[in-house]
Structure 1
Amino acid sequence: MTTNRPIRLGAALLAVALGGAAVAEDMEEYRSMFEPLPFLPPIPPGNSMTREKIELGAMLFFEPRISASGVISCATCHNPALGWSDRIGRAVGHEGQVGVRNTPTVLNSGFLTSQFWDGREADLEGQALGPIQADVEMNMTLDQAIARINELTVYRTHFDAAFPGEEDPINAQNVALAIATFERTLNTPDSPFDRFLRGDAQAISDEAKEGIKLFVDNGCVACHSGPVMSDGLFHRFEVPGSTDEGRFVVTGDEADMFTFRTPTLRNVAVTYPYFNNGSVTDLRDAVNLMGEQMLGHAFTDPELDHLVAFLHTLTGKMPVVPVPALP
Structure 2
Amino acid sequence: MFNALKITAITFSLLLAPLFAHAEPLQDQAKAIFGTLPTMMPGAENDSPAMIALGKKLYMDKRLSVNDSQSCNSCHNVVDAGPGVDNTQFSPGAVAGKFGGRNAPTVWNAGFQLAQFWDGRAVDLKDQAKGPILNPAEMAMPSEQAVVDKISAITEYQQAFEQAFDANNAITYDNLAHAIAAFERTLISKDRFDQYMLGDKTALNEQEKNGLKAFINAGCTACHSGPTLGGTFYQKLGLVKPYTNQADQGRFDVTKNPGDKMFFKVPMLRDVARTAPYYHDGSVKTLTEAVQLMSSLQLGRDLDAQTTADIVAFLTSTNHDRSL
Same fold (TM over 0.5): yes
Answering whether residue 211 of structure 2 is matched by residue 207 of structure 1, we say no
Determine the C-alpha separation between the residues in 1 that align with 2:131 and 2:158.
23
The residue aligned with 2:102 is 101
Hey, what does 1:264 align to over in structure 2? Answer: 268
Q: Deviations over 1:165-215 (max 9, x none)?
A: x231000110011000000011112x1100000000110011111111111
* 1:22-37 superposed matches below 5 A: 24-25=24-25, 27-37=27-37
Partners of 1:30 and 1:179 in 2: CA distance: 33
Aligned-pair CA distance for 1:40: 1.8
Give the 3 Å change call, closer, same or farther, for CA 163–241 of structure 1 in structure 2.
same
Q: Distance in 2 between matches of 1:179 and 1:21?
A: 42
Report how far residue 25 of structure 1 moved.
Answer: 3.4
Unpaired segments ≥5 residues, structure 2:
1-16
Distance 1:250 1:314 in 2: 31
**TM-aligned CA deviation for residue 124 of structure 1:** 0.4
Q: Deviations over 1:196-245 (max 9, x none)?
A: 00000110011111111111111111111111111521111154235101
Q: Kindly state the Cα deviation for residue 66 of structure 1 after the two structures are TM-superposed.
A: 1.6
Which one of 150, 156, 159 corresponds to residue 157 of structure 1? Answer: 159
Paired residue for 1:67?
A: 65
The reply on whether 1:52 has 2:50 as its aligned counterpart is yes
Q: Give per-residue Cα distances to partners, 1:63-119, cap 9 Å, x unaligned.
A: 111211111110110112540101000121132312210000100111111000000
Tell me by how many angstroms 1:151 deviates. Answer: 1.1
CA distance in 2, matches of 1:74, 1:22: 45
Using a 3 Å threshold, how does the CA distance of structure 1 residues 226 and 78 change in structure 2: closer, same or farther? same
Matches within 5 A, 1:83-162: 83-93=83-93, 94-140=95-141, 141-162=143-164
Q: Deviations over 1:48-73 (max 9, x none)?
A: 11000001001110111121111111
CA contact (8 A) 2:34 2:228 kept: no
Give the corresponding residue for 2:179.
Answer: 178
Change (3 A) 1:231 1:136: closer
Q: How many residues align?
A: 300
Distance 2:41 2:169 in 1: 29
Q: Using a 3 Å threshold, how does the CA distance of structure 1 residues 169 and 307 change in structure 2: closer, same or farther?
A: same
In percent, how many aligned pairs have the same letter? 36
Structure 1 length normalisation: TM-score? Answer: 0.87
Q: 1:132 to 1:198 in 2, by over 3 A?
A: same
**Aligned residue identity for 1:109:** A
Moved over 4 A (4+): 20-23
Question: TM-score, normalising length from structure 2?
Answer: 0.87
